[in-house]
Amino acid sequence: MHATATELLYSRLPNYMYCTDDYRDGGIQMAKDFAIKKNYIQVNTTTYQQAILLDHDDECFMSDLWYEHSHLPVPNIVIANKENGRAHSITLLRSPVPKTEKSHRHPI
């Protein structure tokens, strides 16, 4: 049985991550089980990029979600604001990409 995109994202989240309910209050570091209940969470770590997150401020994003005009890959997850039509999209990478020289994956 294949995992859903949400389950896959959850399994890849760091055990401790920065999160907040309001950016004006700043972020605090919490364990994953508590952090995911916040409005904003850290998806990528400082050493690995595992997802591409896009902020769609265009009110037409949800109507253009089928991507025939955008030439973007279809995201795994879309979080939409029904009040104003704006959204965030998450495209999960097949494998996390190291962001520093010391974060490379060691051969097995």
What is residue 66's predicted lDDT score, i.e. its pLDDT? 55
DSSP per position, 82-99 = TTT--EEEEEEEEEEEE-
pLDDT tens for the chain, 108 residues long, are 677 888 988 998 999 999 999 989 999 999 999 999 999 999 998 888 999 998 887 766 655 655 566 667 788 888 888 888 778 889 999 888 888 877 666 654
What is residue 60's predicted lDDT score, i.e. its pLDDT? 64
Q: What is the pTM of this model?
A: 0.74
What is residue 108's predicted lDDT score, i.e. its pLDDT? 46
What is residue 75's predicted lDDT score, i.e. its pLDDT? 86
- Contact 74/67 with Cβ under 8 angstroms? yes
For residues 47 and 86, what is the distance between their CA atoms, to the nearest angstrom? 29
Domain residue spans of the chain: 1-42, 44-98
